[in-house]
């Protein structure tokens, strides 16, 4: 060997590596939307770090960003001692991973979206992680997910596999999270984060948002309001078990990890197999929580929701009127009554199916999707025909993922249910979950929908329910070594079925229900037109439920129904106008049956339905501004403004009686300051004079209404006022 030659070669290699590292270290990967910037850099060790996320930076200032120590996708191993985004067991048993930057690819998908793919590779093992980041410029939304693959000789095990890691540096953080339970969904809680780790999660597998929701608002350097403050908002697109982690270290760095909950879900990854995590969507605003909300609404209407451009129908549901006790004659009368009231659609709820074990209550029949011939001797087609004769559309309820033990389906396929071996069955609401990790079960669930819609091609609407979560988790389909895949593969199976349904039945309107709002997430947006957000239809409670839900979900998809009083859940009595005014601030429907109404109530309801049809374009396609919060004020107010700013609606509610009256100022938002708006009160209570009559017919500029405000007195318990503003 020639030592001089070896020395020269070593020097050449060292120089080449040093040059490459210098190039890497100076490289910034910049992801921009209209108002935000996300910046990555590569440090001298070849590690990808996230250097900035916030208000958009001028392009010529990106070079001034300092490299931070915050890894863009942290791994277990080396000196990182906090919760990692990624941890795997390699084929040789090594528990650590060390990801190094390899390259980036940036693709322009269209004039509004770009996709950046950043390749990271383990320093020793043939393991690759792709960070995939899609930027939606106009909506100011960034979506991130990961794609994991390897070329090791044997399978590896993924224990932690976050969709995204977002790092922030500030002196204080204020987290708004959303929690609840059956009949009490989407309550809001705001807290200051202390050092340590705050975890929001679901381990439920199905109905996974029952107790907590995979979305958040984060005030930076202080608690934000609707209109002021630096805020990050995010939501995960996954309908299964999920986890959001917020960890503040001793130097006030915050790391936000999001993705599938790895609890009981170690995933065995074969060589060359690609594991794709769900998308995490997030944005930043320096103008408060309201702007965050409107950005998510814009994204959902443009990219998320199925056929969100079509107006949504008003409907009459039979559930609270009949529950399981009905027949063909009763339903035909409800259909006729609904048509006379002016509804667009009648929805037949639970109880129409099963014969050997008839669905007369919730302990039998679920899974047997044959029409009950005693209740409906002429089948569903007879009801569809009756609806068409009244010029009203027909919808139907299903719960295809579930089965009662007391059913023919369970007798034939007991191996299709999720249950652990050597354990007794654990029914909830007298039902079990079908195992959607099994392709045969997926085919069965699709066939339930397919058969109903094939036999009844004029069914226009389907309510897809899901009334329990997973317990006693186990699959007779998955092998012993892959039992931990069940949470993930069930969810993937569900999404595959929904894709098949949408491909074959693109025009059928689908509502997602899960004992209320326990299945509301951005993964199901492309399949469902609207959501049943709570079984609680009490108007006062619905103000709170709809307030929280509306932060991430556009009102066009939030079904809100007028129901009987005393309310079946709360026993509260509220005025019919109040109930309508609350329901009209979302997607109007009704469970209150016309036959149970007085002539005066029926007339008011008919008028209210027609009024809603005339203003629903403002609610369903307008921008939402929250004016007075039910968490902070006895008076609640919200406002919708059309995209062209020529029309607006203002809803006001009083929760409790105000002896001296409540005349606080409503500072309207989102109007064109140069336009003149005429006030008109809509859905007035018959025979009553509103305190707001002083504004009726008057004109004000948008600038005046946003600066001086709108002022009118409210004093009575459950009083409500709706104003329509028009510049036309």
Name the packing angle between helices 439-455 and 379-389 (round to 10°): 50
Q: How far apart are CA 452 and CA 437, in angstroms?
A: 23
Q: How far apart are CA 49 and CA 51, in angstroms?
A: 6
Asked if 226 contacts 217 with a C-beta cutoff of 8 angstroms, the reply is no
Residue 721 corresponds to which tokens in the numbers above? Answer: 């006022």
For the chain, the first-to-last Cα distance in angstroms comes to 90
Would you name the residues annotated as active-site residues? 465, 535
Beta-bridge partner residues of 192: 174
Place of tokens 């403002």: 618
The SS3 call for residue 582 is helix
Asked if 99 contacts 125 with a C-beta cutoff of 8 angstroms, the reply is no
350 is in an annotated binding site: yes
Strands 459-464 and 509-512 come out as: parallel
Strand locations in 23-140 (E): 28-32, 36-42, 48-55, 86-89, 99-108, 113-122, 127-136
513 is in an annotated binding site: yes
361 is in an annotated binding site: no
Beta-bridge partner residues of 553: none
The SS3 call for residue 394 is strand
Q: What are phi and psi of 279, to 5 degrees?
A: -75, 140
In 3D, which of 552, 566, 463 has the Cα closest to residue 515? Answer: 463
349 is in an annotated binding site: yes
Place of tokens 């250097």: 51
Residue 24 corresponds to which tokens in the numbers above? Answer: 């890497």
363 is in an annotated binding site: no
174 is in an annotated binding site: no
What's the distance, CA 623 to chain centroid? Answer: 18
368 is in an annotated binding site: no
Asked if 101 contacts 49 with a C-beta cutoff of 8 angstroms, the reply is no
What's the distance, CA 432 to chain centroid? Answer: 25
Q: How far apart are CA 637 and CA 200, in angstroms?
A: 29
Q: How far apart are CA 132 and CA 119, in angstroms?
A: 9
440 is in an annotated binding site: no
Q: How far apart are CA 651 and CA 643, in angstroms?
A: 18
What are the helix (H) ranges across 624-713?
702-707
192 is in an annotated binding site: no
Q: How many CA atoms lie within 13 A of 69 on its CB side?
A: 7
182 is in an annotated binding site: yes
92 is in an annotated binding site: no
**Plot region of 419 (φ>0 → left; ψ -120 to 50 → alpha; else → beta):** beta
What residue numbers does the annotated binding site cover? 182, 349-350, 429, 463-467, 513, 535
What residue numbers does the annotated binding site for substrate cover? 182, 349-350, 429, 463-467, 513, 535
């Amino acid at each position: 060997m020639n030592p001089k030659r070896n020395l020269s070669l070593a020097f050449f290699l060292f120089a080449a590596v040093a040059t490459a590292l210098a190039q890497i270290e100076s490289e910034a990967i910049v992801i921009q939307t209209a108002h935000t910037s996300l910046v990555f850099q590569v440090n001298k060790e070849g590690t990808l770090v996230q250097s900035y996320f916030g208000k958009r930076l001028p392009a010529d200032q990106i070079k001034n960003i300092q490299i931070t120590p915050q890894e863009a996708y942290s791994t277990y191993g080396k000196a990182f001692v906090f919760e990692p985004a990624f941890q795997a067991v390699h084929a040789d048993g090594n528990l650590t991973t060390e990801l190094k930057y390899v390259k980036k690819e940036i693709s322009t998908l269209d004039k509004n979206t770009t996709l950046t793919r950043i390749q990271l590779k383990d320093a020793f093992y043939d393991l690759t992680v792709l960070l995939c980041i899609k930027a939606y410029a106009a909506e100011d939304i960034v979506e991130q997910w990961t794609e994991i693959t390897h070329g090791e000789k044997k399978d590896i095990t993924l224990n932690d596999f976050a969709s995204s890691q977002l790092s922030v540096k500030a002196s204080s953080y204020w987290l708004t999270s959303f929690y609840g339970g059956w009949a009490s969904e989407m309550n809001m809680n705001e807290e200051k984060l202390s050092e340590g780790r705050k975890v929001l999660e679901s381990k439920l597998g199905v109905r996974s948002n029952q107790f907590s929701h995979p979305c958040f608002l984060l005030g930076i350097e202080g608690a934000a309001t609707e209109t002021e403050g630096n805020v990050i908002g995010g939501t995960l697109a996954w309908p299964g078990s999920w986890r959001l982690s917020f960890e503040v270290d001793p130097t006030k760095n915050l790391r936000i990890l999001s993705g599938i909950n790895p609890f009981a879900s170690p995933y065995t990854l074969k060589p060359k197999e690609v594991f794709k995590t769900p998308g995490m969507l997030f944005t930043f605003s320096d103008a408060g929580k309201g702007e965050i909300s409107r950005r998510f609404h814009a994204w959902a209407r443009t990219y998320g929701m199925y056929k969100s451009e079509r107006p949504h129908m008003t409907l009459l549901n039979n559930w609270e009127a009949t529950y399981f006790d009905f027949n063909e004659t009763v339903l035909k009368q409800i259909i006729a009554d609904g048509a006379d009231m002016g509804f667009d659609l009648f929805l037949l709820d639970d109880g129409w199916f099963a014969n050997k074990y008839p669905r007369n209550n919730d302990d039998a029949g679920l899974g047997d999707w044959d029409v009950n011939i005693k209740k409906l001797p002429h089948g569903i087609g007879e009801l569809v025909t009756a609806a068409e004769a009244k010029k009203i559309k027909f919808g139907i309820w299903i719960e295809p993922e579930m089965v009662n033990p007391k059913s023919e389906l369970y007798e034939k396929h007991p191996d299709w249910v999720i249950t652990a071996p050597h354990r007794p069955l654990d029914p909830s609401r007298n039902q079990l979950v079908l195992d959607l990790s099994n392709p045969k079960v997926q085919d069965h669930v699709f066939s339930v929908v397919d058969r109903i819609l094939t036999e009844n091609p004029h069914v226009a609407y389907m309510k897809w329910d899901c009334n329990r979560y997973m317990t006693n988790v186990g699959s007779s389909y998955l092998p012993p070594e892959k039992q931990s895949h069940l949470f993930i593969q069930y969810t993937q199976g569900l999404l595959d079925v929904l894709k098949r349904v949408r491909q074959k039945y693109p025009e059928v309107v689908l509502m997602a229900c899960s004992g209320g709002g326990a299945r509301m997430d951005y993964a199901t947006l492309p399949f469902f037109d609207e959501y049943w957000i709570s079984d609680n239809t009490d108007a006062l409670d619905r103000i709170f439920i709809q307030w929280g839900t509306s932060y991430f979900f556009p009102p066009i998809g939030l079904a809100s129904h007028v129901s009987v009083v005393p309310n079946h859940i709360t026993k509260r009595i509220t005025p019919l106008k109040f109930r309508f005014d609350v329901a009209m601030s979302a997607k109007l429907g009704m469970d209150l049956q016309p036959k149970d109404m007085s002539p005066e109530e029926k007339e008011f309801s008919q008028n209210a339905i027609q009024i809603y049809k005339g203003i629903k374009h403002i609610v369903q396609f307008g921008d939402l501004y929250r004016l007075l919060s039910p968490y902070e004020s006895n008076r609640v107010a919200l406002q919708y403004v059309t995209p062209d700013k020529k029309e607006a609606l203002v809803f006001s509610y009083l929760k409790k009686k105000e002896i001296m009256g409540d005349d606080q100022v409503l500072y309207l938002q989102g109007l064109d300051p140069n336009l003149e708006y005429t006030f008109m009160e809509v859905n007035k209570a018959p025979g009553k004079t509103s305190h707001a009559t002083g504004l009726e017919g008057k004109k004000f500029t948008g600038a005046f209404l946003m600066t001086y405000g709108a002022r009118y007195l409210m004093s009575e318990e459950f009083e409500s006022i709706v104003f329509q503003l028009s510049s036309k």
